[in-house]
Amino acid sequence: MPFVWLYRLFPSALNAVTIIQPETIIRWHRTGFRLYWRWKSRSRGGRPKIPGEIRRLIREMSLANRLWGAPRIHGELLKLGIEVAQSTVAKYMASTGSASLLLSRSLADFIISIVGSSFWQAQGSNADPEEKRGPCD
């Protein structure tokens, strides 16, 4: 009934009303969804990717020369004409497996420092506890 009154008042309103099938709406939705995710996953530039060949070369050099660090391998790559950052070389180097050794050494140093500091505190605590009180006690 309201559509009849709307048509009688504004006959041009019929031109604005269009009947759309559900398949059309689903197709529009799928197209919009596809375009959104294509836009969302686009390449945004940034640093260029390091080719796999250079990554393999860095790994092989680090495995063949265990005593070389990132600065040395970086220098050798520069001599070969391969320009990569030293941080990139460090990222792609093979791990040496000495991290656990470093961690255990740090832990040992930490324990020694704690034991040593508690030893010195015990030696220096011969003062009378009454003298250590502050003015508010």
65-83 residue pLDDT tens: 989 999 999 999 999 999 9
Other beta carbons within 10 Å of 77: 19
**Residue 74, Cβ density class (10 Å: 0-12 exposed, 13-18 middle, ≥19 buried):** buried
pLDDT-based confidence at residue 20 (cuts at 50, 70, 90): confident
- Dihedral (C-alpha) 45, 50, 83, 58: value to the nearest 10 degrees? 160
Percent of the chain residues past pLDDT 70, beyond the cut: 72
Higher pLDDT, 130 or 50: 50
Q: Distance between CA atoms of 52 and 24, rounded to whole angstroms?
A: 46
Mean pLDDT of 7-34: 85
Residue 33 has pLDDT above 90, yes or no: yes
Give the mean model confidence (pLDDT) for residues 16-31.
87
